[in-house]
Amino acid sequence: MEMSNGAINLLPEIHIQSVQTVTPTKVTDPRQVRQVSAVDPIGFGIFRKCLHILLYHAKATEDGARWFHVGWFRESLARAMLEQPLIAGRFRKAFDRQNEEGNQLEIVSNDSGVRLFQTSIPITLSEFLDLKGSRDGEDAEAKLVFWKDIDEQNPEYSPLVYVQVTKFQCGGCSVGISCSILLADILLKENFLKKWAKIHNNLLSKDDLPAAPMYYIPDVMKSSGCSPTSIFSPNPSKKCGQTVIFTISAETVNPLKDDALQLCVEEAENKYGNNMAPNFPMFLKTNYRNAIKVEKFPKDGLIKPQRLGSRSQISRAVWDDFGANEIEFREGNKPEYVSYWVGFVSGGLVMAMPSADQKGALNEVKVVIVTVPIEKEV
């Protein structure tokens, strides 16, 4: 057992058994591009901030191990990326025609792939969930997701999405997805996880399915006596913020002029404390050319809304509204529990996403996610 801040850490060690790179089953043609507009990418933290989604699935039947085998996850994920190729993409410098130099960034679907980790933990799922709910296990879930900061100097070599499949002693498993905040809308609004789970179910429902997946990698720790942990060391991504989700019923919302986003920030701070920094980043997904705009959101300059109508257009939502609690990688086996959190929250952040209708207005916003940093007790 390890000692952490004077408290006993009861969480057993996570064992990394294999690390793979999963690429789409076909070459993406034409390639998709997502423009990223940020005056200060490093200052805004676009290379660090990520969204974590963690699903816990109990072993439903005796053949549950077949459904939760990481090799099958690899094959279904490779097929799912055909529908959302940006998941397997990378950063690259974009050519700015006005300045005639590559000083802008964009994400391109170049099929470089997703990192897939196969891990195990010598504890049952129920024991882990009990430990997670205790004070000593407050950050236990951070062990079940993997995230490595995007390299600030050479971002074109860093994966934007990681998946960690962890097997529990009881036969259940967790599926932890970590993605760059710049791709969060694909997981949430565009339901990538639901599409992936459907493909996974269809794949494993075939009568002629072989006994073992094509990409079967034995436990390298047992065969070689070494661990990949020293090579693949993640950046700690503990829960350091609380998130409030809002939906906006107005037909169009321009974040640069309308006070709806200001109201969302105010409501979030009323719930979790006045901890937002004087300036924090706003990630605005637009329907125009599939772009992400990252801008400074000045808290001190917020205008106290006077119009009652603005407040009536805003309503609360919850993470489950995005549907991850309905994900079934095995038909009939919904998650026992689902966790979401935004990693590396420093000063707070706002994410604003438009409706799925591509015919919407340039800055139409329908979902606003506000994460307030929380100062934990020492």
Per-residue pLDDT of 235-261, as tens digits, reads 766 677 899 999 887 655 555 455 778
What is the full DSSP assignment across 232-276?
SPPPP----EEEEEEEE-SS---TTT-SHHHHHHHHHHHHH-S--
Please compute the mean of the pLDDT values over residues 82-96 and round it to a whole number: 88
The pTM of this model reads: 0.86
Which residue has tokens 């064992």? Answer: 15
106 near 33, Cβ under 8 Å?
yes
> Which residue segments constitute the domains of the chain, with CATH numbers given?
2-238+319-345 (3.30.559.10)
pLDDT of residue 361: 47
pLDDT at 200 over 60: yes
Task: Place 144 in a pLDDT band, splitting at 50, 70 and 90.
Answer: very high
* Distance separating alpha carbons of residues 213 and 290, to the nearest angstrom: 36
pLDDT at 369 over 90: yes
* Distance separating alpha carbons of residues 291 and 282, to the nearest angstrom: 14
pLDDT of residue 65: 54
Q: How far is CA 350 from CA 62, 64, 225, 247, 371, in A?
A: 44, 39, 45, 13, 7
Task: Place 362 in a pLDDT band, splitting at 50, 70 and 90.
Answer: very low
pLDDT of residue 108: 96
Per-residue pLDDT of 165-180, as tens digits, reads 999 988 889 999 999 9
